[in-house]
Amino acid sequence: MRPFTFTQAQDVDTAVQEVSLEGAKFVAGGTNLLDLMKIDVMSPSHLVDITQIALETIEETEAGGIRLGALAKNADTAYHELVETRYPLLSHAILAGATAQLRNMATDGGNLLQRTRCYYFYDTQTPCNKREPGSGCSAIQGYNRDLAILGTSEHCIATHPSDMCVALAALEATVHVTGKNGERAIPFADFHRLPGDTPHLDSNLQPDEIITSIELPAKGFAKHYTYLKLRDRASYAFALVSVAAALELEGDTIKEARIVLGGVAHKPWRVPEAEALLQGQKATRDNFRKVAEAYLQGAQGFGHNDFKIELAKRAIVRALEQATNR
Amino acid sequence: MNTENSLQATTAVRPQLPDTRTVTLRVNGTTHQLQLAPWTSVLDALREHLQLTGTKKGCDHGQCGACTVLLDGKRINSCLTLAVMQENKEITTVEGLAKEGELHPVQQAFIDHDAFQCGYCTPGQICSVIGMVNEGKAKTLDDIRDLMSGNICRCGAYINIVKVAQEALEKNTGL
Ligand SMILES: Cc1cc2nc3c(=O)[nH]c(=O)nc-3n(C[C@H](O)[C@H](O)[C@H](O)COP(=O)(O)OP(=O)(O)OC[C@H]3O[C@@H](n4cnc5c(N)ncnc54)[C@H](O)[C@@H]3O)c2cc1C
Ligand code: SF4
Ligand code: FES
Ligand code: FES
């Protein structure tokens, strides 16, 4: 690891000031940043430890939802009573990711900002537009089995690897942030970006901004939900395709459906117009398949990952069936 | 780690090289004051500065679990956290488990169940089983397999490791 200077911020304002230093970065759980620093993919010259700031509380909001402090640990979030009972989709998604050890360290804010697992991004010997803008993308012509099939650009086909974020997108969370210009709230759908011609930017968070909390609205879909994660091993592997599915049912008629895909794009992939096809419809396999087709419209494989298109469709159908029967 | 080259590379951006600082670590019930550079991981602090080499470095990237220690009773990967960030926490390593010359029941169970071959992953597995019991979330065999999946065993001693974990859960042998 390259040498760096280090400070501990005790409050949000100090953290925001200190991160404005040239080459500075926040560190929370460290499970992604330190990993990337060890192999020189990221090399901040100053780290601001934010773990002393009191931002780990999980509490109910006046609006009837809950607020997850940005420094709440992934494990503490997944096992929190409010989350387990009212937002079990989120709990399941978090527990589908990483390992017990990692979840004990990883924070909710850090989870949102974890970087892609594209092999070329990790390999500093190869060109990668995300790591080194303008150098080219090694994955498009290279080995791309794990990479994206939706929302790609000619500059980058990376995926966002988080499981937690797929559930947060389905639950329509809001990300609260504070920067030099004060506070703002970012709807989850606008938090992460598509690669376009700026693949080095993963999210719309500004460099001086700190995530303070993640807010969930009252509606938790605690009755009919599923987080389905398809991967190469039964545990401890990133998703090839994942689906967060949540349904509100009246008998076997669907009042509302939420479907978000993970492992297929640069951000959690949600298509509200396709979800709407299920509104007022019966919860049947045929209807689920129609939605699945609509979700994958425009999907493009790059050779090794072509299989993901059909896999994603089947995963949507299975997730919706599981959610119905739960 | 800090070669001539990388030192020079950062000098350009930031004139002052980071000094070592005094870091207070609580390990196995003893308080240590160490002079550490900020980039020293808890794992390197244990192994290189405290000569507690029971905790192993397998991958140094959070992937293998060989470096698992307990932080305030919960499992973490000591390779992915900085020592300067873990002051005032209680760190327990495999060296801190035996009490008055008696092995911790989970250590003894690894011997009784023949749950290792080369033994490289074993200190991490032992801490992980104890952490799993402490954390109190494993109930079924499937839970054990899932919640122990952060500890890789290249010798494939999994079948007997699972037996140890089952026994530890039944007897509630945490920290
Ligand atoms: C072996 C391995 C397997 C994994 N498997 C999975 C998996 O299957 N599924 C999955 O979803 N994840 C997985 N992960 C990733 C893991 O979930 C992330 O590393 C973790 O969530 C990151 O959180 P952190 O607090 O450690 O972040 P850090 O590493 O501390 O920070 C990550 C980034 O976020 C920034 N940051 C952190 N907090 C804030 C804040 N409050 N405001 C602004 N910026 C902030 C940091 O500056 C940094 O750029 C895996 C990781 C490893 C090492
Ligand atoms: S897909 Fe993105 S992250 Fe991967 S090599 Fe191409 S530019 Fe880099
Ligand atoms: S050495 Fe820490 S997980 Fe492998
Ligand atoms: S006993 Fe050899 S790696 Fe587990």
CATH superfamily ID and name for B18-96: Beta-grasp domain (3.10.20.30)
Work out the percent of chain A whose per-residue pLDDT is above 70: 100
Q: Whose CA is nearest to atom 3 of ligand 3?
A: B62
Q: Which residues pair with B76 in a beta bridge?
A: B69
Nearest to B79 by CA among B64, B89, B99: B64
Question: What pLDDT does A233 receive?
Answer: 85
Range(s) of chain B covered by CATH 3.10.20.30: 18-96
Ligand 1 pocket member A249 (CB < 6 A): no
C-alpha distances in Å from residue B41, one per residue of A26, A34, A39, A175, B61: 17, 9, 14, 30, 11
- Residue B7 pLDDT grade (very low, low, confident, very high; cuts 50, 70, 90): very low
Indicate the SS3 state at residue B161.
helix
Q: Cβ(A75)–Cβ(A100) under 8 Å?
A: yes
- Residue A237 pLDDT grade (very low, low, confident, very high; cuts 50, 70, 90): confident
Q: What confidence tens digit (pLDDT) does each residue in A156-170 have?
A: 999 999 999 999 999
CATH class belonging to B105-171: mainly alpha
- Please tell me the number of Cα atoms within 13 Å of A129 on its side-chain side: 20
Q: What confidence tens digit (pLDDT) does each residue in A126-142 have?
A: 999 999 999 999 999 99
Q: How much is the pTM? A: 0.96
Question: What pLDDT does B16 receive?
Answer: 59
**Cα-Cα-Cα-Cα dihedral sign, residues B101, B104, B108, B110:** negative
Q: Cβ(A244)–Cβ(A165) under 8 Å?
A: no
| Rounded distance from Cα B99 to ligand 4 centre (Å) | 25
Nearest to A269 by CA among A284, A258, A281, A280: A258
C-alpha distances in Å from residue A195, one per residue of A133, A215, A268: 12, 26, 13
Work out the percent of chain B whose per-residue pLDDT is above 90: 88
For B80, the closest of A4, A31, A75 (CB atoms) is A31
Q: What is the mean pLDDT of chain B?
A: 92
State the best of A38, A99, A235 to mutate against chain B, taking most chain B CBs within 10 Å.
Answer: A99
CB contact under 8 A, A38 and B61: yes
Question: What pLDDT does B2 receive?
Answer: 40
For A2, the closest of B9, B16, B132 (CB atoms) is B9
Contacts of B35 (CB under 8 A, 6+ apart): B20, B21, B22, B23
Question: Which residue of chain B comes nearest to A33, CA vs CA?
Answer: B80
Cα A108 vs. chain centroid, distance in angstroms? Answer: 10
ipTM confidence score: 0.96
Q: What confidence tens digit (pLDDT) does each residue in A204-221 have?
A: 999 999 999 999 999 999
Interface of A with B in 62-81 (CB under 8 A): 75, 79
φ, ψ at B77 (rounded to 5°): -90, 115
CB contact under 8 A, B150 and A105: no
pLDDT of B17 > 70? The answer is no
Range(s) of chain B covered by CATH 1.10.150.120: 105-171
Question: What pLDDT does A235 receive?
Answer: 79
Q: Cβ(B25)–Cβ(B71) under 8 Å?
A: no
CB contact under 8 A, A105 and B41: no
Q: Compute the average pLDDT of residues A30-59.
A: 98
CB contact under 8 A, B135 and A51: no
- Residue B12 pLDDT grade (very low, low, confident, very high; cuts 50, 70, 90): very low
Q: Compute the average pLDDT of residues B38-60.
A: 98
